Amino acid sequence: MYRTNTCGELRISDVGKTVTLAGWVQRIRKMGGMSFIDLRDRYGITQLVVDDASSDAVKEALGKLGREAVIQAVGKVAERQSKNAKIDTGDIEIILSEINILNLSATPPFTIEDNSDGGEELRAKYRYLDLRRGPLKNALMLRHKLAHEVRNYLDAQGFMEIETPYLIKSTPEGARDFVVPSRMNPGEFYALPQSPQTFKQLLMVAGYDRYFQIVRCFRDEDLRADRQPEFTQIDCEMSFVEQEDVLNTFEGMMRTLFKNVVGVEIANPIPRISWYDAMDRYGSDKPDIRFGMEIHEISPLVQGHGFSVFDSVEYVGAIAVPGAAEYTRKQTDELTEWVKRPQVGAKGLVYIKLNPDGSIKSSVDKFYTPEQLQAVADAMGAKTGDLILVLCGEKRKTQTMLGVLRIEMGNRLGLRKPNEFAPLWVVDFPLLEWSEEDGRFYAMHHPFTAPKPEHMELFYSDRKEDLEKVCANAYDFVLNGTELGGGSIRIHQADVQQRMFQVLGISKEDADYKFGFIINAFKFGAPPHGGLAFGFDRVCALFGGQETIRDFIAFPKNNMGRDVMIDSPSRIDQVQMDELFLSSTAPEPKE
């Protein structure tokens, strides 16, 4: 037997037992005639002791040990003189009678401690060493626990976990596909699934009315903002359901996860807001509702007073920042520069200060009387001491900018408390989104999302204005300003699906070529169905109280989509290229 116990297991009640542990040498400290080895494994750290009374063989082995050596250690559990309350095994130590060196280690390129001295790049290259560190181990343990809880919950609800293929045909989730050349079918390619969307719908046609899968998805996107080219979804689909059934089922799942994994009770029921209200009130389709500072349209109050900037635009909106009236000129100037950054894109910023002494000061005093400004403040419910920030322009764009500004002010004022969890459902999304650039509609969710039954007539209209009004039973689960999941009630009739492709400007031939299989399946008794998917990596990160998903993935890629540990992607040799009928026009790599 390699070990009788783990390094996280022994307690004061084990004193006197002879045990065998196996693990890695975290560090060795010498004090007088005694040496202490911290032995580490996945479960914890146990202190081993070598002293004057130890055998020569033990002393000799000790002399050979360095950090990260793997050893087997035999000895007797003893009560410790100076106890360490910080670790679970801190009351005991092992007086060694035997050390077997199982393997030595080269000097690790960075310290394997909770706070490592290694930079991100170096740690990524030696990910297997980084994974020995406590924070990453805890992250992966949390991930495991969450996956386990998800399976338990869904199993209890009658869901079946069914695997779907990875070598498939393009799925339109709005990103670029990763493709895989087929050797046996020269010149033809598989696409890796952006999600199992079409397969889970086919499973509904097949009668598996409650499906789920914790599944890898692949999207070839520029990796801005904490994305990974391959990521994991909790993917689900249900038949014979309405939106309400889907929301209730997954509200239950999230509630269970919060309760069982972090011991937090979340709102019951989880609030819902329509996409339109979310945009109007928060300037975002994934609002952070941990704090107020809502957006108010003030166009009617400020237009028609001779201020041409406001008079010439579709929309003027504002937020009231609590207690920020004391902002100095320097601070408001800095904020103005901040909103002009390309990431926000505003042309300028107007402010109104509701000074603690009751006076009002604004950057547009020339155009408005204090009474008119007070009317704006009253309409917004702003209070003495608040700083009102105003942006104007095209409606949705301006709301979005105000939304970004609101989050920034929430951050600056510390209103986004990390230990507060405020979930909500955003519902009633528009079905379609017009792209000025491409002069065509795109599906706001994906092309399998059904129009609301009451909007069917609008959906068959040829007028752009009508189509823009069509709403879907589509929903997103949002937590603290992050979209954790989303889904919809689907189209289940072949003719409606065909109409959808037509609205999206996809020719009949093209639709048949790409999606003929699903249109065809809908002709064979497809049941009404709907579902959703949660971003599992992000769920993990949020539960772990972290901003980035990378630590919750055992082997992530960097923001160039590279795995620097295995050095991938990489070139393949000419034989492989030839077998696949491929030739490359990429420039030769620099030596």
The residues binding ligand ASP (CB under 6 A) are 173, 195, 197, 486-488, 531-533
Closest approach, Cβ 449 to ligand ASP, in A, equals 7
Between 345 and 528, whose beta carbon lies closer to ligand ASP?
Answer: 528
What is the C-alpha separation between 312 and 396, in angstroms, rounded? 16
- 569 preceded by cis ω (within 30°)? yes
- In angstroms, the CA 341 to CA 111 distance is 39
- Enumerate residues 6+ apart whose C-beta is below 8 A from 558: 121, 124, 564
Least separation in angstroms between CB 232 and ligand ASP: 11
Nearest C-alpha neighbor of 450 from the set 475, 474, 485: 474
CB of 241 to ligand ASP, least distance (A): 13
Name the DSSP class of 238.
E
Residue 216 C-beta: closest distance to ligand ASP, Å: 12
Query: Smallest distance from the beta carbon of 533 to ligand ASP, in angstroms?
Result: 4
The residue of the chain with the least Cβ separation from ligand ASP equals: 195
CB of 474 to ligand ASP, least distance (A): 8
Q: How far is the CB of 540 from ligand ASP (least distance, A)?
A: 17
Residue 240: CB minimum distance to ligand ASP, A: 17
Smallest distance from ligand ASP to CB 256, Å? 20
Spatial distance between the Cα atoms of 372 and 385, rounded to a whole number of angstroms: 18
Distance set, CA 47 to CA 7, 15, 35, 162, 338 (Å): 9, 13, 10, 46, 53
Residue with tokens 């960075």: 110
Whichever of 199 and 291 has its CB closer to ligand ASP, that residue is 199
Nearer to ligand ASP, 473 or 488 (CB): 488
SS3 500: helix
- CB nearer to ligand ASP: pick between 402 and 526: 526
Which positions ≥6 away from 129 have C-beta within 8 Å?
68, 108, 109, 110, 112, 123
Residue 402 vs 431, nearer CB to ligand ASP: 431
Cβ-contact 264, 342 below 8 angstroms: no
Phi, psi of 58 (to 5 degrees): -65, -45
Taking CA atoms, 384 is separated from 302, 325, 381, in Å, by: 20, 8, 10
Determine how many CB atoms are found less than 10 A away from the CB of residue 18. Answer: 12
How many Å from the N-terminal Cα to the C-terminal Cα in the chain?
A: 50
Q: Give 319 or 533: the residue with its C-beta nearer to ligand ASP.
A: 533
- Our CB check for ligand ASP shows the closer of 47 and 232 to be 232
Q: Nearer to ligand ASP by C-beta: 380 or 533?
A: 533
What's the burial of 416, exposed, middle or buried (CB within 10 Å: 0-12/13-18/19+)? middle
7/532 with CB nearer ligand ASP: 532
Residue 324 or 484 with smaller CB distance to ligand ASP: 484
Minimum gap (Å) between residue 486 Cβ and ligand ASP: 5
DSSP state of 186: T
DSSP string, 403-439: HHHHHHHHHHTT-S-TT---EEEEE--BSEEEETTTT
Tokens (6 digits) for 238: 């249900």
Nearer to ligand ASP, 89 or 195 (CB): 195
Minimum distance from CB of 99 to ligand ASP (Å)?
A: 52
CB nearer ligand ASP, residue 531 or residue 544: 531
The length of the chain in residues reads 591
What residues contact 312, with CB distance under 8 A and at least 6 apart?
Answer: none
Q: Minimum CB separation from ligand ASP for residue 444, in Å?
A: 11
